Amino acid sequence: MMKRQAYLGIDIGSISTKGVIIDEKNKILASAYIWTEGDPIGASKKLLHLLEEQFDKEHYQITAAGTTGSARKLVGTMIGAGTVKNEITAHAVGTTSLHPDVRTILEIGGQDSKIILVENGVAVDYAMNTLCAAGTGAFLSSQSKRLGIDVEDFGEIALHSQRPARIAARCTVFAESDLVHKIQMGYAKEDIVAGLCQAVAENYLNNVGKGKKILSPVVFQGGVSKNAGVVSAMKKALGCDILVDENGHLMGALGIAILAGRSGSIQEFDFSAEHAAFQTREVNCGRCPNNCEIICVYRDGKLIDSWGNRCEKGALRAEK
Amino acid sequence: MSQKKVAFPRFGNYNLCIKYFVEQALNAEYILQPLLTQRTLEAGARYSPDSVCAPFKTCLGSLIDALEAGADTLIMPPGICRLGYYGELHEQILRDLGYEFDFINLSRYSTGKPKDYLKALKRIDPDLSAAHLARVGAETLKMLAHLDDTEAEYYKNCGFEVHHEDYHKTWSRFLAAMETAQSLHDIEQAYSWVKQAFSSIPISKPAFPLRVGVVGEYFTAVDGFSNHFLEQKIADMGVEVHRFMSVTNRNLRYHGKNLQIGIQDYCCYEMGPTSTANIWAAKHYASHGFDGIIHIKSADCTPEIDIMPVLQNISADYKIPVLYLSFDSQTSDTGLETRLEAFYDMIRIRKEGK
């Protein structure tokens, strides 16, 4: 019997690593969501293992793989992915495949946040935070540690607040000092938590969303969309309903799997990368005063790829 | 008296024009410092206030490069924004560091009377005659216009070349010819050579290629190093890249009032050194069916921040996406590539859907 085709997509973010395997009709066959914990290679191996356990190898064969997210290049090299694409495109494709009528995609991840405007199922404009990670997941999780609360419980606690504390939202550093001030003043914990959620929503809309026309239907995704407090603050600020997909965290992975499938190039994928040893090494080129930092990736001791050089002088070729 | 060794901060390819002018008109030696690199920027940033714009740091770094290469006379250009004040600060910082040099700060001579610039130049060559200055000046401006014209053609086509680096090799040869030019004849010869050479490079370009217009702050938009060679990056994806901002368009052939007429629906007076030109160019791109606009500036550049709301209006009226990018000494190449790639994907998928 001919095996049916399946596509693998992995989204390696700063905080979490997500993966899906889909069939030709974009149906999710397997999915996994784990913490990156500062080790994208290790996390991707673990993720592949989790996906392999759920995957029906008898009936399906993975014929295309793609990676996205901030470690897309590294992990793309590692698993030999045919499609390596930025997370903005991946999120737009993933979300519009599930919600073809969406007009605005709000996305708040661990370190970055973006807004994508969609018309007739096609992205027409986007913006991404620059220079500053204020109002992202990393900010929430560092503050939850300060407050001694698990970040997963944050949203629930926020919803109990009657009068959220006002927290200066323009900048993470000032937000934090304002937060400490409010704690020392004796504000109730839930009011502070709710205030923080509001600060994240406001910060996002004032920075990333600045000048963009936010039309409904609005889909909110990324790790922070799991936080009911931020969702409710966002709804209040926008004055319209917001859709949070239960698979919202998988959109990037789904998008890149779809793009890998669409790419048309067939490359059978086995899970062998799970068991190989990968190493990275940084070299400074030194051939001109730019002194580019070149990252070399080795699989079982063999150089498989390198990047970071600005010009040909710093090009290191993989051993054939 | 021995010849002066003159230098000017690195600014795109325009140093070649200054070199020609200094050598031919001022009877002085021109010191062409090495190309801008990370080292230049770091050296400049080390001695600059942290919050000042990146061009300040780059210019300071390249003035240090010039002093190390033997320059004894530095020229600093004038400007309508904070740039007008930068020369004074640069001089003070360099003197505090202990360097010895003559500093010709053209802002001090920007009085509205061109005759005063002659005074500045006479500090380099006391025997300079107005007639000689006028002749070499005209030749230099010719060179400048040819450089801008050739560069514009380069970015419109280099993304579609059939053989890798054809355009780049020709362009580099042209720059080398301009660097060694000694007369108007040399300049014109190199120009007609490059025109010919460009037109004989085989390209494969679709009938309706993706077209992107770049607008933004003068220095960052024009200087490749300062914008991480953004134009080359987009062109390499297979895009026609247009940029109105150049010394030719902003200074030689500029008539602000007349450009203003075309954009009076968006703003009714000049808001800064490059606002009228940029808004005009953005509207031009939008109304001529371009696929996207990229607005670039150094971080905290006030005049360019001011035109962003106007660009948002143009974006909404003409339904054209605008990507806003800020550059400073900490800008990461990876972050830039992510944003450019996403922008490219977006305009490509959008065009395919049309």
Confidence band of B2 (pLDDT split at 50, 70, 90): confident
Task: Assess contact for B300 and A132: CB atoms under 8 A.
Answer: no
Output the pLDDT for position B280: 96
Question: Would you say residue A106 lies in a domain?
Answer: yes
For B342, which of A126, A131, A288 is closest by C-beta distance?
A: A126
Pairing assessment for the beta strands A16-23 and A4-12 based on DSSP bridges: antiparallel
Residues of B in contact with A122 (CB under 8 A): 349-350, 353
SS3 percent helix, strand, coil of chain B, rounded to 5, is 55, 10, 30
How sure is the predictor about B159, in pLDDT bands with cuts at 50, 70 and 90? very high
Kindly state whether residues A135 and A18 are assigned to the same domain. no
- Tell whether A43 and A134 lie within a shared domain: no
Assess whether A234 and A142 both reside in one domain: yes
The CATH number covering residue A216 comes to 3.30.420.40
In this complex, do A86 and B349 lie within 8 Å of one another by their Cβ atoms?
no
Helix (H, G, I), strand (E, B) or coil at B71: coil
In this prediction, residue B1 carries a pLDDT of 56
One domain, residues A48 and A154: no
Measured CA to CA in angstroms, residue A16 lies from A39, A54, A55, B260 at distances of 10, 19, 21, 50
Q: Is A88 in the same domain as A147?
A: no
Closest residue, chain A, to B233 (C-alpha):
A310
Contact (Cβ atoms closer than 8 angstroms) between residue A127 and residue B343: no
- Report chain B residues whose CB lies below 8 A from the CB of A130: 325-326, 335
Residues contacting residue B285 through CB under 8 Å, at least 6 positions apart:
B211, B213, B215, B242, B293, B320
> Does A320 reside within a domain?
no
Residue A56 maps to a domain: yes
Give DSSP secondary structure letters for B31-70: --PPPP-HHHHHHHHHTS-TTS-HHHHHHHHHHHHHHHTT
Statement to judge: residues A107 and A208 lie in one domain: yes
- Both A207 and A235 in one domain: the answer is yes
pLDDT at A26: 92
pLDDT of residue A244: 94
Do A153 and A215 belong to one domain? yes
Interface of B with A (CB under 8 A): 34, 37-40, 299, 308-309, 312, 315-316, 319, 321-322, 324-326, 328, 330, 333-335, 337-339, 341-343, 345-346, 349-350, 353
Q: Is there a single domain that holds both residue A26 and residue A112?
A: no
> What pLDDT score does A132 carry?
65
Report whether pLDDT(B135) > 90. Answer: yes
Distance, C-alpha A74 to centroid of its chain: 15
Nearest to B316 among A87, A130, A213 (CB): A213
Q: Are residues A84 and A182 in the same domain?
A: no
User: Which residues of chain A make contact with B68, given a CB cutoff of 8 A?
Assistant: none
Q: What is the DSSP letter of A232?
A: H
Nearest to A312 by CA among B157, B234, B338, B165: B165
Check CB contact under 8 Å for A126 and B308. Answer: no
pLDDT tens-digit readout, A244-296: 988 888 999 999 999 999 988 888 888 888 888 998 888 888 888 888 888 88
Q: Which of residues 204-243 of A touch B (CB under 8 A)?
A: 211, 213
* pLDDT recorded at residue B157: 96
Nearest chain B CA: its distance from A161 CA (Å): 37
Q: What is the DSSP string of A139-177?
A: HHHHHHHHHT--GGGHHHHHHT-SSPPP---S-HHHHHH
The amino acid at residue A269 is: F
pTM over 0.80: yes
Using the beta-carbon criterion (under 8 Å), do B349 and A123 form an inter-chain contact?
A: yes
**Interface predicted TM-score (ipTM) of this complex, two decimals:** 0.85
pLDDT beneath 50: ranges in chain A: none
Position B180 pLDDT exceeds 70: yes
The string of pLDDT tens digits covering residues B33-61 is 999 998 999 999 999 998 899 999 999 99
Single-letter amino acid, residue A289: P
B226-267 pLDDT, tens per residue? 999 999 999 999 999 999 999 999 988 888 888 999 999 999
Would residue A269 count as lying in a domain? Answer: yes
pLDDT at B223 over 80: yes
Cα nearest neighbour of B228 on chain A: A310
Q: How confident is the model at residue B296 (pLDDT cuts 50, 70, 90)?
A: very high
Residue at A319 is within a domain: no
Q: Return the residue matching tokens 């009228």.
A: B276
Has residue A40 been placed in a domain?
yes
Residue type, A145: K
| A221 touches A95 (CB < 8 A) | yes
- Residue A293, classed as helix, strand or coil, is strand
The pLDDT of residue B134: 93
Among candidates A123, A211, A291 on the partner chain, residue whose Cβ is nearest the Cβ of B312 = A211
**pLDDT tier at B103 (50, 70, 90 boundaries)?**
very high
Mean pLDDT computed over every residue of chain B: 93
Alpha-carbon dihedral sign for residues A115, A215, A167, A140: negative
Number of domains in chain A: 3
Measured in degrees and rounded to the nearest 5, phi and psi for residue A209 equal -85, 0
DSSP annotation of A198: H
**Which residue, among A74, A116, A118, A125, would best test binding to B if mutated, counting the most B CBs under 10 Å from its CB?**
A125
Q: Find, among A15, A3, A88, the residue nearest to A259 by Cα.
A: A88
Q: What is the residue range of A300's domain?
A: 278-314
Ordered strands of the B5-7 beta sheet: B29-30, B5-7, B73-76, B102-105
pLDDT surpassing 80 at residue B66? yes
B9's tokens: 């901060």
Are A76 and A122 found together in one domain? no
Q: Which of B17, B6, B30 is nearest to B104 (CA)?
A: B6
Q: Is A54 inside a domain boundary?
A: yes
Phi/psi of residue A60, nearest 5 degrees: -125, 155
Query: Is A106 found in the same domain as A74?
Result: no
Backbone angles phi, psi at B301, to 5 degrees: -75, 105
- All residues of chain A having their beta carbon less than 8 Å from the beta carbon of residue B34 are 289
Provide the shortest C-alpha distance from residue A80 to chain B (in Å): 20
User: Are A161 and A190 contacting, i.e. CB atoms less than 8 angstroms apart?
Assistant: yes
Residue B145: closest CA among B103, B187, B208: B187
